Structure formats: C-alpha cells, structure tokens
C-alpha cells in the first residue's frame, strides 16, 4: 500500500456477540434499581463511569458499590462468543499490512481475560480501553487517542462500530464508520454510517480497500 491505512474495531457487538448477554444483565439491573425494563438500550456502548454518573449520581454509596460489584462479577465470568468471521478478518487485515486497533468502553481487567480466552494477545497495534480515557463514547476522545497513538490522520482510519454512541464518537473524530448490525437493525444504522454489514463472514480485504476510497 502506498499510504498506511488504519482499521479500528469496537469490541462488544463487533468482534464478540456479547450485547445480548449484556442486555439481560442490564435490563434486570434496570428493573432492580427502578430504571425501567429497557435500561440496556440507554447505555449501550457507554462506559461504567458514564452509567454511574448519569443514572446513579443520586444513589446511596451502598447502592453505587453494589452496582459496580455486580457489574464486575458479571464481567469476570461472562462468555465471549465471536461474531462470524470477525477474528479471521482482523488477522487478514493485519497480515495485509494495515494497522489494527481496538477501541472499547470496557475496562482493562475484562479485556485481559477476553484476550486470553480468544488468543488475541499481541494482535492489536494499539488498544484504547475505558482506563485510558476521561470521556467515554459518544465523545470522540477514545478514537482520537487511537489515531494519536499512530500519528494517523482520522481520514485514514476506518472504524467498525455497532452502537449509536460508538458511531457518533468515531464520526465526531472524523473517521469513516462501517456499522455492524449485530445489535441494532441495519435500517436504523444506514443513515449514520458509510456502509452496514451483518457480520464479517463475507467481508474481504478488497472490500475494505473500497471503503477507503
């Protein structure tokens, strides 16, 4: 390639099909803490600090501690079923000379466990987790930080995202976004992204190059 290209992946809902698992957990928590039955949809793609500040700022310290403990315990034992073709696509893209990065709202402890289970250690050229940022998605900070790690221009980056918060973050960062319709229907994503895919089973490096044009 004449000019270095950069590919950034969200984790949950893009590389792993964990959003349905999170939906069950957070919807149950929403009912338990009086936040409604569809609480998961309100916080999809955001960080725990955002959730705590936005929805639990007036809660007692005991309640806050309980929410954090429940979330941490859940993430310490959750499974990581992969999105069809996702990991093979990451490997192929890296093999072809693209820089690959991971930008997630998750914390380090969860990602270390996920990387071990999925054999993803030393695969990504840069990683941005919730522990590296002070403003979570939909703020563009996480994606701008990833680009800065490479001294890359945002217009030379393509992002794969599944949530409205993540799509907005990448778009505000000046990057081209490909929506993955694993959790939100394609028709709801189509006017917010460059293109939409259901998974990575039919996505080739040639297709990726077309998206960069």
- CA torsion sign, 61 to 21 to 187 to 195? positive
Asked whether 167 and 186 are in contact (CB, 8 A), the reply is no
**What torsion, rounded to 10 degrees, do the Cα atoms 183, 87, 146, 76 define?**
70
Please report whether residue 88 resides in a domain.
yes
Verify that 34 and 88 share a domain, yes or no.
Answer: no
Number of domains in the chain: 2
Q: What is the pLDDT of residue 2?
A: 53
Evaluate whether 130 touches 48 at the Cβ level (below 8 Å): yes
Euclidean distance between CA atoms 58 and 52, whole angstroms: 9
- Cα 5 to its chain centre, rounded Å, is 20
Considering the domain architecture, whether residues 105 and 140 belong to the same structural domain is answered as yes
How far is residue 8's CA from residue 198's CA, in Å, rounded to a whole number?
17
Q: Record the pTM.
A: 0.91
How high is the pLDDT of residue 81?
Answer: 97
pLDDT tens digit at each of 213 positions of the chain: 458 999 999 999 999 999 999 999 999 999 999 999 899 999 988 989 999 999 999 999 999 999 999 999 999 999 999 999 999 999 999 999 999 999 999 999 999 999 999 999 999 999 999 999 999 999 999 999 999 999 999 999 999 999 999 999 999 999 999 999 999 999 999 999 999 999 999 999 999 999 999
Domain boundary residue, one of 52, 75, 98? 75
- Shared domain for 87 and 166, answered yes or no, is yes
Long-range contacts of 29-32 (CB under 8 A, 24+ apart): 29/67, 29/70
Residue 11 domain flag: yes
CA distances from residue 178 to 130, 159, 170 in whole angstroms, order as listed: 22, 6, 10
Tell the residue number behind the tokens 């217009």, with chain if given: 155
Domain that holds residue 66: 19-75
Q: Both 124 and 185 in a single domain? A: yes
Q: Does 109 share its domain with 139?
A: yes
Residues 63, 109 share a domain:
no
158: in domain: yes
| CATH label of the domain that carries residue 146 | 3.40.50.1000
Task: Output the pLDDT for position 45.
Answer: 86
Q: Of 29, 45, 75, which one is at a domain's C-terminal end?
A: 75
Same domain, 101 and 184: yes
Q: What is the pLDDT of residue 1?
A: 46
In angstroms, the CA 108 to CA 146 distance is 16
Asked if the structure places residue 1 within a domain, the reply is: no
């Amino acid at each position: 390639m004449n000019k270095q290209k950069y590919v950034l992946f969200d984790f949950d809902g893009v590389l792993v099909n964990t959003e349905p698992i999170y939906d069950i957990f957070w919807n149950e928590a929403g009912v338990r803490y009086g936040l409604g039955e569809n609480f998961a949809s309100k916080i999809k793609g955001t960080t725990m600090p955002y959730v705590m500040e936005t929805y639990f700022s007036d809660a007692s310290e005991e309640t806050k501690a309980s929410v954090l403990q429940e979330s941490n315990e859940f993430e310490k034992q959750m499974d990581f079923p992969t999105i069809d073709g996702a990991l093979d696509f990451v490997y192929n893209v890296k093999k072809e000379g693209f820089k690959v990065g991971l930008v997630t709202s998750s914390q380090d402890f969860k990602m270390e466990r996920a990387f071990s289970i999925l054999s993803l250690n030393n695969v990504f050229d840069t990683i941005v987790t919730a522990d590296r940022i002070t403003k979570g998605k939909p703020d563009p900070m996480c994606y701008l930080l990833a680009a800065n790690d490479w001294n890359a221009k945002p217009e030379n980056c393509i992002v794969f995202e599944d949530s409205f918060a993540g799509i907005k973050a990448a778009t505000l960062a000046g990057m081209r976004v490909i929506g993955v319709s694993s959790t939100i229907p394609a028709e709801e994503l189509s006017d917010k992204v460059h293109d939409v895919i259901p998974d990575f089973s039919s996505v080739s490096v040639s297709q990726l190059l077309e998206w960069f044009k």
